[in-house]
Amino acid sequence: MIVFTDVDGTLYDYDWNLPESAVEAIRKMRANGHKVFMVTGRSKAENKQEVWDIGFDGMIGGNGSYVEVDNKVVMHQLITPQQCKHIVDWLNSRDLDFYEESNNGLFASDHFVENSLDTIRQYAYGKGKSREEVEKFEVKDALHGLVENENLYRDDLNKVSFILHSYDDYLDAVKEFPDMLVGTWGGVNDYALFGDIGVKGIDKARSIQVLLDYLGAKREDTFAIGDAKVDIPMLEYCNIGIAVGSGSDDIKAVADYVTDDVSKDGFYKAFKHFGLF
């Protein structure tokens, strides 16, 4: 079997803790001959070493723009330099702070760190941090790999995330970038704190198909597990789609099976239920 798992809110709970039971489940599945891939909005540079230390057969990153199997790049669809310039210039013209997501790092706009603290703390609070914890929270606690004072006209970008002053910023971005995939992300239940702009025509499901074709594997041998709206395509595509109990209502509605909350060993319980270990 082949298991595709989201990371934030699925492997990690809303306090950004990694339950030991989830690590145990992945290692047991792989020991039994199953393959496990992370499928995430993160770019490769965002993963701390502890994520890699869990043990995976590869990753799909950037919500589908990047596919890697056994350290080999299978697919990588990047924002073009022309698209990057358009994005940077438009965001700057609207005073929208942003960071660019690349496998080589997260590249922050000039005032992103100083202007994003309230939003990042709101994000952390929405993910389960206490008010006391949030008051001590810094931007780089949330965004591993953040780099300042770099050239922002780049050719290595998977996507760009920007702080929303209002929901109209997202709606205007959709109009401004018809050639791009524009979305939102943020707290629990997909509350919109950030907008993001990426390569059009990609999602987690399409990249899973690319990976399966590379492996010569069958769709009927697949499981997917996630917690948010962005995970719905992969749950619908894979043979068995699993939603974690602490996830959003819309993903639970399309899931074949709803497991327990992440913090209550939901990941472990799901794959124990299906007999993968």
pLDDT computed for residue 230 by the predictor: 87
Spatial neighbors of 136 by CB under 8 A, at least 6 apart, are none
* 45 DSSP assignment: G
Domain with 98, as residue range(s), is 81-199
- Residue 113: CB atoms within 10 A of its CB come to 18
Residue 14 confidence (pLDDT)? 65
Amino acid symbol at 199: V
Residue 202, amino acid = I
The pLDDT, as a whole number, for residue 192 is 87
179, 233: one domain = no
Give dist(CA 91, CA 13) in Å, integer.
32
- Among 150, 178, 199, the domain-final residue is 199
Strand pairing report for 146-147 and 157-163? unpaired
pLDDT of residue 13: 79
Count of residues for the chain?
A: 277
Task: Say what the pLDDT of residue 127 is.
Answer: 60
- The whole-angstrom distance between residue 233's C-alpha and the CA centroid of its chain comes to 13
Read out DSSP for 155-172? S-EEEEEEE-SSHHHHHH
Residues 6 or more apart whose CB falls under 8 angstroms from that of 253 comprise none
Same domain, 190 and 206: no
Block residue for tokens 């929901």: 167
Q: CB-based contacts of 182: which residues, under 8 Å, 6+ apart?
A: 170, 173, 174, 195, 196, 197
Both tokens assigned to 136: 């001590």
Whether residue 193 sits in one domain with residue 99: yes
Helix (H) or strand (E) holding 147: strand 146-147
Q: How many helices (H) and strands (E) does the chain have?
A: 12, 14
Contact 100, 158 (CB under 8 A): no
- Report residue 83 as tokens: 């698209």
Q: pTM score, two decimals?
A: 0.89
Q: pLDDT tens, 112-127?
A: 999 998 888 877 666 6
* Element of type H or E holding 124: helix 117-126
Looking up residue 162, the CATH number of its domain turns out to be: 3.30.1240.10
Q: Single out the residue of 231, 227, 262 nearest to residue 247, CA to CA.
A: 227
Among the listed residues 1, 195, 197, the one whose alpha carbon sits nearest the alpha carbon of residue 80: 197
Please report the pLDDT score of residue 186 as a whole number: 78
Domain boundary among 178, 199, 220: 199
For the chain, what is the radius of gyration of the CA atoms? Answer: 18
Q: For position 134, what pLDDT does the model report?
A: 67
Q: Which residues of the chain have pLDDT under 70?
A: 14-15, 124-131, 133-134, 187-190
- Hey, which residues does 159 pair with through a beta bridge? 101, 198
Residues 97, 142, single domain; the answer is yes
Verify that 206 and 70 share a domain, yes or no: yes
Domain count, the chain: 2
- Single residue among 199, 217, 246 that ends a domain in this structure: 199
**What's the pLDDT score for residue 135?**
74
Do 233 and 188 lie in one domain? The reply is no
Q: Are residues 89 and 66 in the same domain?
A: no
pLDDT of residue 155: 98
